[in-house]
Amino acid sequence: MIRGFHNVENKEITTWLSCENELVTSITGFFKHIEASECIQAVEDTYVEYMEYEDFQFALNTFPEALRLYNTLLVEYYIHAENRTLMSRIPSAKGRFDYFVANQNILLLNRAPNKYLASMLNMRPETFSRIFKDFEVTCVDS
């Protein structure tokens, strides 16, 4: 598991979490080929492979299947970004949590540290714990 986060006002703000077989990068840093403001951290023991920017450009210009893959991934990750944007605008903590459960990988709830999930959902860890506990009880009762 890998997370992306920003340091804002001496606070880490988690913006995304990714698991196995996903591509991760600082989008602005990689595609604009500039120093990234986003930090990337392995949350668990992680094996990664990487591609340099120049190699990526070579693949896009040389292999038609690389361009097709790039277009497919671009759409998928843009949809994820749209979902995260909407989720961040939901006024209530419970609403953000419910949206996350309905639209994201529910496995993250039992795998990712609560402090990162709380940060990503823009709520205090105590609020996240309370909402998550109620969610677990509801799931057991169902």
Burial of residue 65, with CB atoms counted within 10 A of its CB: 0-12 exposed, 13-18 middle, 19 or more buried: exposed
- Its pTM stands at 0.85
**Domain residue limits, the chain:** 2-141
The residue among 90 and 135 whose pLDDT is bigger is 90
The two three-digit tokens of residue 4, written as one number? 């992306």
- What would the pLDDT profile of 51-105 be if each residue is shown by its tens digit? 999 999 999 999 999 999 999 999 998 998 899 999 999 999 999 999 999 987 7
pLDDT value of position 133: 92
- 9-16 mean pLDDT: 95
Alpha-carbon dihedral 123, 17, 106, 73, rounded to 10 degrees = 130
What is each CA distance from 121 to 84, 88, 92, 125, in whole angstroms? Answer: 9, 7, 10, 10
Summarize pLDDT for 110-128 with one digit per residue, the tens.
899 999 999 999 999 999 9
